[in-house]
Structure 1
Amino acid sequence: MPVQPASNFKRSSGSVRRWAFALLWGASLALALSLAPAHAEDADKSLLKAPVSPVPPLFTEEAIGTAKAALDGIVERAMTRTGLPGAAVGIVYKDKVIYAKGFGLRELGKSGKIDPGTVFLLASVSKPIASTIVAKLAGDGTVKWNDTAKSYNSAFALNDPYVTENATIADLMSHRSGLRTGSGDLLEDLGFDRTYILSHLDQQPLDPFRSTYHYSNFGYTAGGIAAAVAAGETWENLADEALFKPAGMTTASYRHADYLAHDDRAHIHARLPDGTWAAKYDRNADAEAPAGGASASLNDMLRFTRLQLGGGTLDGKEIVKAEALAAPHEPQMIPGPPRSPAARAGFYGFGWNVSYDDEGRVRIGHSGAFNLGAATNVTFMPGEDLGIVVLTNGRPIGVAEAIGAAFLDVAQNGRETVDWVGFLGAVFEQMDAGEAPEVDYTDVPASPKPAQDLAAYAGRYGNSYYGPLDVAADGGKLSMSMGPQGAPTTFALTHFDGDTFSFETIGENANGLAGAIFTLGEDGRAMKVVLDYYDRTGLGTFVRE
């Protein structure tokens, strides 16, 4: 599940009013200069001097020390309260790592403890890493942010000829291409590879180009892949050569196999209905590597954070040109209006959320979330030369964001003023509730209409987006198979009512039972079937071949 980073929910969200005021103030200043008298002695001495906006005081070293001292307790209380299996947390301040610690276990039921060298799946924190890699190419002159994806990757196509020809790397990496959230994600859950998914995005409907924001993993991936093609590299090799090796990020990779090769790795954990946790799944995000496929240790992510705060320079070595790295940190798109007149909107850069706290300090960050069992967050404040990294090996319930928010709260106020775990936990619960299926297939009718003879449903059904669907009747049971050729997934079909059957959804986006709704032809055989779970954008109808 692509999760919006906590900056969209916290008090420290970005402010449209501040942004608008900044534009107004800039225009007013330019007008004032153009009308200023040629000589100072000509000025009316009764006029007030130009107003100066108050500059918020920097966090003192004492304040940072107080927040650092509170961090052990913040993390431990959050883990005790939620049962979260493990976490790794680090702080960068004035280009130094002042805190780096592991908590809990790499895998429940086993003895391995998490330390700063433990490798985690990063989920969507992969996005700011990817934009840093593209910034490296931009600084070297290999690409420009406003180059079109099509100019480098001839295979790139979306569901509109104009958008196909004009969508830029910037459009794709700021989520303004018009692709809707989740486009391509269900193909990934079925096991399709990157090439297949990107080559089928042109069937997904588009919302208005450059005027709508939709958080799209595979739109973002398409932007990263276009840059990699321009560099003449695979994305994975480009990441190694452009960033990971020069920055000394020795555990970082966009290859899932590299993550699995580490003995010291954090296994992902799902949260069970009774509130306990279990390491039930693996999550291979190679298909969406630029958007969600990275893995790294806390130590490496602290180096990455130092690089961001250092304007592209790390340990005295320029990795990315400062001017090129600035673009991802700047507002590129407004995700949406404030939720209330008293609230603030946030901004999206290239792979970063850009927001402002109550004192106008800029905060840049991003969260990552795998429903199958990982949640991460990176937040930094350039004006304070301060950053915090939180990596966890449990599904997203707001803890990663809450730890970062609590640390900054203590730095600001000397104590926690908000129950961040409770507040953000409730936000994530609301997001989960919003993902519930529209039809409750667990509520079987008391007197369901009977099904046809199961042979009436059996056969092969075609679909240009998902590929063929094979429905089989065997031993009085019905099943269906779909997915990549040679490695399909088989789903058991359970009768629900009449010609409707239910099946259990799978993968990162699974949300329980879904429906397979058959329509019979005049010959008494099913002529088509709609899978409502896969029909979110109208692509879930399979027609008998």
Structure 2
Amino acid sequence: MDSIGSVSTNRRELLKAAGIGAVGVAGLPLLSACTGRSAQSVPSPSASLLPAPPGQVEPLLDRQKVTDALAKLDGQIRDAMERTGLPGMAVAVVYRDEVVYSKGFGVREVGKPEEIGPDTVFQVASVSKPLASTVVAGVVGRKVIKWTDPVIEHNKRFALKDDYVTRNASFADLMSHRSGLRTASGDLLEDLGFDRAYILGHLNQEPLDAFRSSYNYSNFGYTEGGQAAAEAMKMSWEDLADEVLFRPLGMSASSYRHADYEKASDRATIHVPLGNKEWAAKYRRDADSEAPAGGASSSVRDLAQWLRLQLGNGSYGGKPAIDPAALQTTHVPHAVSGPASAPAARSRFYGLGWNVSYDDQARVQLGHSGAFNLGAATAVSMLPGEQLAIVALTNGRPQGIPEAITAGFLDTVQHGSPTVDWLAFTAAVFKQVDESEKPEVDYTKVPATPSPAGRNSAYTGTYENSYYGPLVVLEQGGKLAMRMGPPGRPTTFPLTHFDGDTFSFESIGENANGLAGALFAGTGGGSSPRVTLDFYDRTGLGTFTRAK
């Protein structure tokens, strides 16, 4: 997944259809979308409902409603953790420029006593995206770039498959996922361990959908936007985020460097579920290659300061920090992420690093989720007109838990108690998504009488691919294996015979979904001329040709 977070195309599309949006892609669903209320229930204008003056929003909530909801938040969090066995979570709430809630629950790692607190550092996955658009807004505010600038003006190496798109794709295009790059472009290169420069340098081989009239969540398209902004400032992305956002707001626990997360003394380890409410810390997730899109780590104490900046229209502690016009541009729709499915339904939108939606009172709601299939799930949601925001970070694989907490809190603020069992709703959606991610061919079911394979020497050798690089098929202890990935640190995959010239191997990384196939072309008594790896062929780039 997230990068989220990156996730598979199926996961993103199903979650968008459910109104949640993709993990690592989307923010919270509209409360009305799941409670049966339609756009028709928005009050008609009247003398008592005249719009507020430009730049002002008349709040509908009062402090007592927020206070009452906060009193129930502990119980909602503990209930979600008890129902799922989730190891740990941290939550913060900001209201009217005040951090009114900041707590940790559970443990940093299963089997160890260290507890989570407001300062515990989590990998935030795709919540990195609205953080990143804040950083880029800072660069726009300094008039170094404009949102409408073609990124190639600031990164001469930028290239996509279509020359017109290469010359015209702007920061806004890339950071609203409307460049035409398809979902998951570059993600499988990341799983293999390729670095940011390699992946961005090979996006020009990825097929494109319609420029500016399609929406496809793309971690590396988004990363290119952040990277180009950093190059315009003649800095690394990581240093730029420190200078523009983290240091000015005192976010000392926040970083876009995985090494900083790893060395944090108060750090939440990522977990995957084993079943029956049991979890295990099995994986490590280094998202440095897609840092602007998914590589940030932070604490809820730090993120609360960032939410104060967001709700403060670029001001922090009463002082300007980010240009308000540049920041506001991130909060408005730039792409239609979920077209309305019926006349009375509402469409969903993507801004710049934010999902943008509107509720029954026509209030804007901003949000984003983040997830790593390898063990992290996060969510943030804001009602800017109410000066209210909540962020939830967890150290467990996505099951809809942080989304349920953030949606449940906002629902409680407005209605006194949740109108939906949010955890049941989000868990059902995520379960459906997980079930949809099975590979097309079940390579665990070997034919009862498989056709024999050729001799090992018919398959061994080096195969070329301009996108993934060379693939070496070799013999180890009488069995076949293949090796691919970055020079100096490739991954070796043992191959198991399946049927005829087809072998299976275990997929790896954030997007892994079990056994995949290595389909060798017929040998005809000689050497196989090519092999297609179906797991790596999602956009037609997974065929490797034997080197001459």
Of 15, 26, 47 in structure 2, the residue corresponding to residue 5 of structure 1 is 26
1:171 equivalent in structure 2: 173
State the alpha-carbon separation in 2 of the partners of residues 167 and 470 from structure 1: 36
1:229 equivalent in structure 2: 231
Of 157, 161, 164 in structure 1, the residue corresponding to residue 163 of structure 2 is 161
Against the structure 1 CA distance between its residues 411 and 194, is the aligned structure 2 distance closer, same or farther, given a 3 Å change threshold?
A: same
Against the structure 1 CA distance between its residues 8 and 451, is the aligned structure 2 distance closer, same or farther, given a 3 Å change threshold?
A: farther
Of 488, 491, 494 in structure 1, the residue corresponding to residue 493 of structure 2 is 491
Of 375, 400, 414 in structure 1, the residue corresponding to residue 402 of structure 2 is 400
Of 263, 266, 282 in structure 2, the residue corresponding to residue 264 of structure 1 is 266
Does the 8 Å CA contact 2:28/2:407 hold for their aligned counterparts? no
Runs of 4+ in 1 over 6 A off after TM superposition: 48-51, 53-57
State the alpha-carbon separation in 2 of the partners of residues 397 and 513 from structure 1: 23
Shift of 1:431: 2.1
Deviations 1:247-269 (A, max 9, x none): 11111100000111101000000
1:322 equivalent in structure 2: 324
State the alpha-carbon separation in 1 of the partners of residues 116 and 33 from structure 2: 30
2:372 equivalent in structure 1: 370
Shift of 1:524: 2.5
Shift of 1:435: 2.2
Within a 5 Å distance, the mapping from 1:265-284 to structure 2 comes to 265-272=267-274, 275-284=277-286
State the alpha-carbon separation in 2 of the partners of residues 391 and 92 from structure 1: 15
State the alpha-carbon separation in 1 of the partners of residues 199 and 71 from structure 2: 47
2:361 equivalent in structure 1: 359
Aligned residue type for 2:176 = S
TM-score under structure 1 length normalisation: 0.92
Does the 8 Å CA contact 2:108/2:269 hold for their aligned counterparts? yes
Shift of 1:18: 6.6
Of 79, 85, 88 in structure 1, the residue corresponding to residue 87 of structure 2 is 85
Shift of 1:336: 2.7
Aligned residue type for 1:140 = R
Query: SS of 1:431's equivalent?
Result: helix
Query: SS of 1:226's equivalent?
Result: helix
Deviations 1:28-55 (A, max 9, x none): x9xxxxxxxxxxxxxxxxxx99995799
Worse-superposed segment, 121-130 or 269-278: 269-278
2:392 equivalent in structure 1: 390
State the alpha-carbon separation in 1 of the partners of residues 276 and 186 from structure 2: 31
Does the 8 Å CA contact 1:7/1:355 hold for their aligned counterparts? no
Query: SS of 1:109's equivalent?
Result: coil
State the alpha-carbon separation in 2 of the partners of residues 49 and 316 from structure 1: 34
Deviations 1:254-298 (A, max 9, x none): 000011110100000012255521111111000001000100111
State the alpha-carbon separation in 2 of the partners of residues 530 and 433 from structure 1: 25
Q: Are 2:88 and 1:67 aligned?
A: no
Of 472, 475, 481 in structure 1, the residue corresponding to residue 474 of structure 2 is 472
State the alpha-carbon separation in 2 of the partners of residues 260 and 420 from structure 1: 33
State the alpha-carbon separation in 2 of the partners of residues 163 and 272 from structure 1: 44
Alignment root-mean-square deviation, CA: 2.2
Query: SS of 1:141's equivalent?
Result: coil
Does the 8 Å CA contact 1:8/1:346 hold for their aligned counterparts? no
Q: Are 2:474 and 1:453 aligned?
A: no
1:502 equivalent in structure 2: 504
State the alpha-carbon separation in 2 of the partners of residues 159 and 366 from structure 1: 29
Against the structure 1 CA distance between its residues 49 and 363, is the aligned structure 2 distance closer, same or farther, given a 3 Å change threshold?
A: closer
Worse-superposed segment, 210-219 or 494-503: 494-503
1:33 equivalent in structure 2: none
1:417 equivalent in structure 2: 419
State the alpha-carbon separation in 1 of the partners of residues 243 and 48 from structure 2: 50
Does the 8 Å CA contact 1:7/1:346 hold for their aligned counterparts? no
Of 126, 150, 153 in structure 2, the residue corresponding to residue 151 of structure 1 is 153
State the alpha-carbon separation in 2 of the partners of residues 281 and 49 from structure 1: 58
1:37 equivalent in structure 2: none
Deviations 1:292-312 (A, max 9, x none): 010011100000001000011
2:306 equivalent in structure 1: 304
Deviations 1:66-108 (A, max 9, x none): 1101100100000010111100011101110111100000000
State the alpha-carbon separation in 2 of the partners of residues 531 and 512 from structure 1: 13
> Which runs of 5 or more residues in structure 1 are unaligned?
30-47
Deviations 1:415-459 (A, max 9, x none): 111110010111112222232211111121111111112221111
Does the 8 Å CA contact 1:331/1:354 hold for their aligned counterparts? yes
1:213 equivalent in structure 2: 215
Shift of 1:523: 4.2
Query: SS of 1:11's equivalent?
Result: helix
2:533 equivalent in structure 1: 531
State the alpha-carbon separation in 2 of the partners of residues 434 and 156 from structure 1: 34
Does the 8 Å CA contact 2:368/2:380 hold for their aligned counterparts? yes
Shift of 1:11: 3.3
Aligned residue type for 1:444 = V
Aligned residue type for 1:205 = P
**Percent identity (aligned):** 59
State the alpha-carbon separation in 2 of the partners of residues 313 and 230 from structure 1: 24
2:440 equivalent in structure 1: 438
Does the 8 Å CA contact 1:12/1:356 hold for their aligned counterparts? no
State the alpha-carbon separation in 2 of the partners of residues 437 and 325 from structure 1: 41
State the alpha-carbon separation in 2 of the partners of residues 398 and 498 from structure 1: 42
1:34 equivalent in structure 2: none
Of 243, 260, 268 in structure 2, the residue corresponding to residue 241 of structure 1 is 243
Worse-superposed segment, 331-340 or 253-262: 331-340
State the alpha-carbon separation in 2 of the partners of residues 161 and 371 from structure 1: 34
Query: SS of 2:529's equivalent?
Result: strand
Against the structure 1 CA distance between its residues 249 and 18, is the aligned structure 2 distance closer, same or farther, given a 3 Å change threshold?
A: same
State the alpha-carbon separation in 1 of the partners of residues 107 and 65 from structure 2: 30
Query: SS of 1:367's equivalent?
Result: strand
Shift of 1:522: 3.7
